[in-house]
Amino acid sequence: MDEVPDSSDEVRGAALVPVALADLLLGIEVASSGGYRSGAYVCKATGRVYVVSSDFDSDEDVPPDIEDSDQYLALPSKRDLRLGRDLAIEFVAEHLPGDLDDAYDCFRRRGAYARFKSLLIRRSQLDAWHRFEEEATERALRDWCDEQGFELVGAAP
């Protein structure tokens, strides 16, 4: 009996479109900023990342149909990738379990990341947090690229 390949087999057989990690990192920072008319898109055909933001002028030519065309895919935000509060709590649970209540308290009101950063500084864990966050971000972007048919290339800046 012949097996019929499923769609994932077809995707695996197709060449993946390369997209640069450094470009995706910039893109998700903009997509996460929440600024007016801010976002980032990747071209499905070329892997080129376009950043759109009213907060700064871009010297690149952004296609006029970028928000409406099926040729471009909006990049997720850090929140979409679960790289915000959840990741911070995960870090504390693994590295500072005695401070878990304090970490939850950090995120109960405005200025959460400043309080979280202060906690990390007091515990000499700021560098460890940055490494943890970078690794988690790269993993999340790699997974997102796999789901979307992109190949993540390059190293973080």
pTM assigned to the model: 0.80
Tell whether 19 and 71 lie within a shared domain.
yes
Share of residues in the chain with pLDDT > 70 (%): 83
Tokens found for residue 80: 């979409």
Q: Which amino acid is at 22?
A: A
Residues 70 and 145 in one domain: yes
**Does 135 fall in a domain?**
no
Q: Are 40 and 30 in contact (CB under 8 A)?
A: yes
Q: What is the pLDDT of residue 11?
A: 47
pLDDT at residue 35, as a whole number: 64
Residues in the chain: 157
User: Taking a C-beta distance cutoff of 8 angstroms, is the pair 137, 75 a contact?
Assistant: no
Per-residue pLDDT of 2-12, as tens digits, reads 444 444 434 45
User: Contact, 53 vs 41, CB < 8 A?
Assistant: no
For residue 1, being part of any structural domain is answered with no
Contact 117, 70 (CB under 8 A): no
- 100-141 pLDDT, tens digit per residue, is 999 999 999 899 999 999 999 999 999 999 999 999 999 999
In the block, which residue shows the tokens 């304090």? 102
Do 89 and 67 share a structural domain?
Answer: no
Residue-wise pLDDT for 50-90, tens only, equals: 988 766 665 568 888 888 889 999 999 898 999 999 999 99
pLDDT of residue 97: 97
